[in-house]
Amino acid sequence: MTTVIDGNELAADLRDGLGDAIAALDSHDVTPGLATVLMNDNPDSETYVNMKQRDCEEVGIDTIDERLDPEGTAEELFGVVDDLNQNPSVHGILVQSPLPDHIDEEVAFERIDPAKDVDGFHPMNVGRLVRGRPNLKPCTPHGVQRMLDSADVDLEGADVVVVGRSNIVGKPLANLLAQKSNWGNATVTLCHSRTEDLAAHTKRADVVVAAAGVPGLIDGDMLTEGCAVIDVGINPVDADNDKGYRLVGDVDFPSAKAKADVISPVPGGVGPMTRAMLLYNTVKAASQQEDVPVELP
């Protein structure tokens, strides 16, 4: 029988587990603080930020919500980030993507204090990850690691194919899964839009992680019996409902489930875990900045 990983349940367990760490910080008069910065008028981005704010409030993390005019200048954005860098009550800073076209996202991410970079995008944190000494891991790759662990997927020597080479998911995840660690030691192939005969790679894989942003890219015919499949894709497609769309993954779920021993759904899989790992990183950052050791779940 196929195991369908319940990302909502895993995320809830992790949030519960953070309670003890947050209480330990509170006993030292420390309350973790997260600042979100939104500089676009995309309704989806606003929804994501509101969800992250709500998650924080539910577990006892203080929040600051900065909303900037999308027509504003890079200097205005950088000024807000600089102020947050200097604010001792802010332990984590998240600049919501996408930024306006006239602002370089990479430059904006580099402006964040690496100690407060709870997205794990700053070059210093990326460098630590590549060197095998990650501190604040990118939220989605870390969430995927935990999902595989929860389903007892053995990565030791496993053949893993990651489809997608983004700086946010594909590249850091491939690096993490290949590292010498309890959640690594896999043999990883990183595929992308220029890969010839993608199915030839996915068919031999013990684990497939789909993170290309292409609806239904991977189906059951491209998988081997008994594999594990993690679907990172969140793609809106037209639908006859109130919203006019529904969310689907990069994996054709019914056909893939027929082949896989382990699979994650969309929605309800990676998404909730990504948000939970943001809380984890914020608590970890608070512990480090305030020099208050805590036990993290």
8 A C-beta contact, residue 25 and residue 294: yes
Q: Reduce the DSSP state of residue 188 to 3 states and report it.
A: strand
8-state DSSP, 219: -
Please state, in angstroms and rounded to a whole number, the distance separating the CA atoms of residues 79 and 81: 5
* Neighbouring C-beta atoms of residue 84, cutoff 10 Å: 24
Q: Report the catalytic residues.
A: 52, 96, 119
Please enumerate in sequence order all residues whose Cβ is within 8 A of that of 24, keeping only pairs 6 or more positions apart, or say none.
292, 294, 295
8 A C-beta contact, residue 133 and residue 179: no
Query: Which ranges in the chain belong to alpha helices (H)?
Result: 7-26, 43-59, 74-86, 105-111, 123-130, 139-150, 170-178, 198-202, 253-259, 270-290
Distances (CA, A) of 23 to 59, 62, 72, 102, 263: 10, 13, 39, 42, 34
